[in-house]
Amino acid sequence: MIGVRLNFRDRRLEHVDGVNATIWAPYQPVRGVVHGVALGLPLTGARRIQGIGVGLFGVTAEEQLTGLVLAGLGAERTGH
């Protein structure tokens, strides 16, 4: 998807070039790639985030977290 993706909770996130905005934590396992802005209240996450990650409580990425991250409690790359 190119543009703005608004959803309640990420379940089938594949690829977003633009803004991915959610209002609840993503389902596990986190999936997809966000190039641009990943915005979440309270949390946001994806397999890879490249750009800006903003989460009131936290930001998580399974493989890669690159760019600027703003998180109230913390940011985490969970993969190996």
pLDDT digits (tens, 9 = 90+) for 14-67: 999 999 999 988 888 889 999 999 999 899 999 999 999 999 999 999 999 999
End-to-end CA distance of the chain: 27
CA dihedral over 27, 13, 57, 50, signed as positive or negative: positive
- The parent domain of residue 47 ranges over 2-75
Query: In this structure, how many other beta carbons lie within 10 angstroms of the beta carbon of residue 41?
Result: 14
The residue assigned the tokens 């977290």 is 65
Give the distance, in angstroms, between the CA of residue 11 and the centroid of all CA atoms in the same chain: 12
In a domain, 80, yes or no: no
For residue 77 the two structure tokens come to: 């790359």
In a domain, 15, yes or no: yes
Q: What is the mean pLDDT of residues 62-78?
A: 92
In a domain, 71, yes or no: yes
